[in-house]
Amino acid sequence: MNSMKRIFSSVLLFLITGTGFAQTTQPSPQMPVDPESKMIMYRDVVSQEGNKDVLYDRGAEWVRAYYLNPGSVTKVQDRVNGKIEGTGRMRLFFDNTENVRTDAGMIYYDFRLEFKPDKFRYTLTNFSLKGASRVPLEKWMNKNDPSYNPQMENYLYQVDTTMQHLIVTLKEGMKPKVIKKDEW
């Protein structure tokens, strides 16, 4: 069943990336920016029934299902303190004028899942483009920057769409599993 979820998520992500990113004129998304750090940050506290350990187990299961190689992305798995941390990555794509998709680079981001009784918090932050040096994505939001390129809005759209998908799958993965009885 876990492999079916992974296949479904992969197909859904392919459909999102295959149809949603083909246009280079996507509207610039309203990226969530932390007012203190001025960094892009997706963060929310979600009410979910369950004690800290049960929620931790669901979060760990979600990490194993969402990431293709969960051992390489997780850096902290602290059941006692109810925390999972790691570094995720996603690929960006560029569609040229002939609608030929090419690799535009790899985005890295930090994620943190924290668990308390009847709630959990997720934090997605420190987004950067891997290169000779890491480029923080906040730079792409500054249209007055001399290095600004309109394609950056498309890249931000790809990041936002992928993070929104991640959040939806996380919230779904944190719900209790429905056990169906095989009554025949």
Interval 139-182: pLDDT, tens = 888 888 888 888 888 899 999 999 999 999 999 999 998 877 77
Please count the residues of the chain: 184
- Note every long-range contact of 88-91, with CB atoms under 8 Å and residues 24 or more positions apart, other chains counting: 88/124, 88/166, 89/130, 90/158, 90/159, 90/162
Task: Enumerate the domain spans of the chain.
Answer: 2-173
Rounded CA gap, 5 and 8, in Å?
A: 5
Sequence-distant (≥ 6) Cβ neighbours of residue 107 within 8 angstroms: 89, 90, 91, 92, 127, 128, 129, 130, 137, 159
State percent of the chain over pLDDT 90. Answer: 58
> For residue 26, what pLDDT is reported?
59
Interval 74-109: pLDDT, tens = 999 999 999 999 999 999 988 777 777 788 889 999
> For residue 27, what pLDDT is reported?
65
pTM of the prediction?
0.79
Which is it for the CA torsion 31, 139, 13, 130, positive or negative?
A: negative
Interval 105-141: pLDDT, tens = 899 999 999 999 999 999 999 999 987 778 888 988 8
Rounded CA gap, 106 and 128, in Å?
A: 8
Interval 18-64: pLDDT, tens = 434 444 455 678 899 999 999 999 999 999 999 999 999 999 999 99
Interval 60-75: pLDDT, tens = 999 999 999 999 999 9
Structure tokens that stand for 149 in this block: 């390129």
Determine whether domain 2-173 maps to CATH 3.30.530.80.
yes
> For residue 21, what pLDDT is reported?
42
Rounded CA gap, 156 and 109, in Å?
A: 13
> For residue 68, what pLDDT is reported?
92
